[in-house]
Amino acid sequence: MSEEYENNKSSYQAQSSETISGDGASSAPDMDYVRPAEIGEQDLYHGHSFITKWIFCQDAKVIGVQYFLTAVFTGIVGLILSWLMRLQLGFPELAGFMTAEHYYQFVTMHGMIMVVYFLTALFLGGFGNYLIPLMVGARDMVFPYVNMISFWMFFIAVAVLMASFFVPGGPTGSGWTLYPPQAILEGTPGSGAGILLMLISLSLFVIGFTMGGLNYLITVLQARTRGMTLMRMPLTVWGIFTATVLAMLAFPALLVSSIMMTLDKVLGTSFFMPTILKAGEVLEYGGGSPILFQHLFWFFGHPEVYIVALPAFGIVSDLISVHSRKNIFGYRMMVWAIVGIGALSFFVWAHHMYVSGMNPWFGFFFATTTLIIAVPTAMKVYNWILTLWRGNIRMNTVMLWCLGFIVTFVNGGITGIFLGNVTVDVPLSDTYFVIAHFHMVMGIAPLMVIMGAVYHWFPLVAGRMLDEKLGKWHFWITFLGAYSIYFPMHYLGFIGVPRRYFEMYDSPYMTSAVGMNEFISLAAFIVGAAQFILIYNIIKTLKVGKPAGKNPWKANSLEWHTSTVPPEHGNFGDRLPVVHRWAYDYSVPGANDDFIPQTTPPSEVINTEVEKT
């Protein structure tokens, strides 16, 4: 380093002195004063060849798109698997090709893909990479090279996961929770190569994610531009930042449990394996604890829910604010709610285990902590609807997705109170009520946000506006369809229909559910197919879409104030922006426009009644 540093020393110093003297030398009035930068700007490696620009690329924006596309690919695989499952459940006579083994493999892969490889990768890898540097006013992530490796580790993890479809015995069919002992014993499909590839893939994912996660955290903490205090950051960044903290603390639990289970499988250790009698023979295991795995898994698994939810909370807050032309209501409350929910999420994991056979006295503790989380979560919901109140709501596609999110999230949140309250959970756990609940709250609700975010930021990424008419069709089919899949499904749970049943119609009190299952399956086929409207919309827009121009939504946050649209490598041209306010100065009394970008100094909006932020 020293030689390189010696050579560039003068230029480093020149840069930092320039930033320090930045505003001081200009004639800006004192009211516009922003503390000088403490460190010089980062040097970026600019790729020149196709490979360094688009494949092994170090630009966080390209990496974000790479993450996004890879995650969407896995999501489409997950979607197709869900179609096959619904075919079996709704129309078993048409699914003659499907055995119970297949069904359980599809259930497992659908769950794992959607939670980890689709939602987590999409929110943190996709939106995180694209938006964090832009929103905090950085040229790139602080460790671009590590960031690049992060994506390729994820890519390999996906490849390994997909490879398990093609090994003898097929992918694991142990349910996405991978509970031992069955996950690694015969009697469960894919208990040979399938489960091993799953565990390896998860381990690779965690390693890759850790590299990306470090980047997100340090970029937010260290690389914010001048004036971008933590309490001026858009909530999107707060959501992704807190989710990353959770991920960094929670994923190690998944990693160690994956490693331990791999050892149990390969070397015959007994971390999770007690004495077992199988087909009349006592296996060579003994002394391990299956419950230990569940604790480790859910110590990861519950924060995982919030790893998906918190970025969604953040993003939807920004979308609602921009498209209501109103500041987000109770910004500080929103920030502390995100942080508080994140912290609390580490104390609630065993609410997934009320009837697991753990010491039942745990129920008191975990029911209490779980219901405490309802308070900050409810505050967020109130603040979203209070942001709409007395706003000026653009009823465009983006806003529709946000409204759809509020409905589905509140619905799923309320059913969460059912399941979190230990007594209520007893009859409902392991039934379709649970499936309906978590799909509503962490499947459909975050998906609504993802879709809103795609319609919102596509003009920035591609420079063209997505078609509104197609977007509205896409929204209504998805929202109404998804709601009619999951809302009635709760009632299957009340009847007592257990989840993970390949078929169930021979029980006398379940025959009444046949009609509903057919209906749900039809809705699932339609909703799945409707997603291709978006793909068509994107292709069409890329060809003939209306150019977006700069800042088409009249938003305040920095990503819309780049030197070019779409932003180039380095994001902000010659000079980094200087931030003078939070991202939510919409419709400020006395202002000429209904928005004041974060970069606007106070001296330019001197007649407004803007609150100091």
Partner 1 sequence: MHAGFIFLAVIVGSVLFHIFTPWYWTDIASNWGAMDDTITLTFWVGGGVFVAVCLFMVYCVFKFSYKEGRKVEYKPEDKKLEKILTWATTIGVVALLAPGLVVWNQYVNVPKNAIEIDVMAWQWGWQYRLPGKDGKLGNTKIVNINEDNPFGIILEDPNGNDDVLIQSDVINLKTNRPVKILLRSVDVLHNWYVPQFRAKMDAIPGVITYYWFEPNKTGEYEVLCAEYCGVGHYAMRGGVNVQSEEDYEKWLQEQETFSDLIAKQKKLELETEKLAKKINLNIE
Residue whose entry in the numeric block shows the structure tokens 């319609």: 455
Q: Contacting partner 1 (CB under 8 A), which of 185, 259, 470, 514?
A: 185
Q: Does the footprint of partner 1 cover residue 423 (CB under 8 A)?
A: yes
| Residues between 469 and 508 with contacts to partner 1, criterion CB under 8 A | 476, 480, 483, 487-488, 491-492, 494-496, 498-504, 507-508
Strands (E), 204-339: 277-278, 281-282
Question: For residues 82 and 76, what is the distance between their CA atoms, to the nearest angstrom?
Answer: 10
Q: DSSP letter at 547?
A: E
Q: What is the dihedral of CA 272, 274, 280, 281, to 10 degrees?
A: 90
Q: Which is nearer to partner 1, 62 or 273 (CB)?
A: 273
For 274-333, the DSSP string reads ---EETTEE-S--S--HHHHHHHHHHHHHHHHHHHHHHHHHHHHHHHHHHHTSPPTTHHH
Neighbours of 185 (CB within 10 A): 17
User: In Å, how far are 115, 324, 533 from 301, measured between CA atoms?
Assistant: 10, 34, 32
Q: Contacting partner 1 (CB under 8 A), which of 179, 209, 299, 313?
A: 179
Give the per-residue contact string, 431-460, with partner 1 (x = CB under 8 A; - = no). Answer: x-----------------------------
Give the per-residue contact string, 282-321, with partner 1 (x = CB under 8 A; - = no). Answer: x-----xxxx------------------------------
Q: Which is nearer to partner 1, 574 or 609 (CB)?
A: 609
Least distance CB 385 / partner 1 (angstroms): 5
Question: For residues 180 and 207, what is the distance between their CA atoms, to the nearest angstrom?
Answer: 23
Are the C-beta atoms of residues 252 and 276 closer than 8 Å to each other? no
Half-sphere exposure of 258 (CA within 13 A, CB side): 21
Q: Does the footprint of partner 1 cover residue 194 (CB under 8 A)?
A: no
Retrieve residue 432's tokens: 């379709």
Q: Which range binds partner 1 by CB under 8 A, 1-9, 110-118, 235-243, 408-416?
A: 408-416
Question: For residues 170 and 546, what is the distance between their CA atoms, to the nearest angstrom?
Answer: 46
Q: Does the footprint of partner 1 cover residue 187 (CB under 8 A)?
A: yes
Judged on CB neighbours under 10 Å (0-12, 13-18, 19+), 50 is exposed
Q: Which range binds partner 1 by CB under 8 A, 52-60, 179-187, 248-256, 544-552?
A: 179-187
Q: Which is nearer to partner 1, 45 or 502 (CB)?
A: 502
Q: Does the footprint of partner 1 cover residue 28 (CB under 8 A)?
A: no
The number of residues that bind partner 1 (CB under 8 A) is 112
| Residue 259 backbone dihedrals phi, psi, to 5 degrees | -65, -45
Are the C-beta atoms of residues 571 and 139 closer than 8 Å to each other? yes
Q: Which is nearer to partner 1, 45 or 487 (CB)?
A: 487
Judged on CB neighbours under 10 Å (0-12, 13-18, 19+), 357 is exposed
Q: Which is nearer to partner 1, 29 or 360 (CB)?
A: 360
User: In Å, how far are 28, 171, 300, 458, 502 from 102, measured between CA atoms?
Assistant: 69, 9, 27, 37, 10
Are the C-beta atoms of residues 407 and 449 closer than 8 Å to each other? no
Q: DSSP letter at 175?
A: T
Q: Which range binds partner 1 by CB under 8 A, 110-118, 200-208, 242-250, 269-277?
A: 269-277
Q: Which range binds partner 1 by CB under 8 A, 10-18, 150-158, 305-313, 330-338?
A: 330-338
Q: Which range binds partner 1 by CB under 8 A, 43-51, 64-72, 170-178, 217-225?
A: 170-178
Least distance CB 393 / partner 1 (angstroms): 5
Q: Which is nearer to partner 1, 24 or 287 (CB)?
A: 287
Q: Does the footprint of partner 1 cover residue 468 (CB under 8 A)?
A: no
Strands (E), 443-559: 464-465, 546-547
| Residues between 100 and 139 with contacts to partner 1, criterion CB under 8 A | 100-101, 104
Q: Contacting partner 1 (CB under 8 A), which of 324, 478, 521, 571?
A: 324
Q: Contacting partner 1 (CB under 8 A), which of 83, 151, 457, 586?
A: 586
Q: Which range binds partner 1 by CB under 8 A, 23-31, 204-212, 369-377, 571-579?
A: 369-377
Q: Does the footprint of partner 1 cover residue 330 (CB under 8 A)?
A: yes
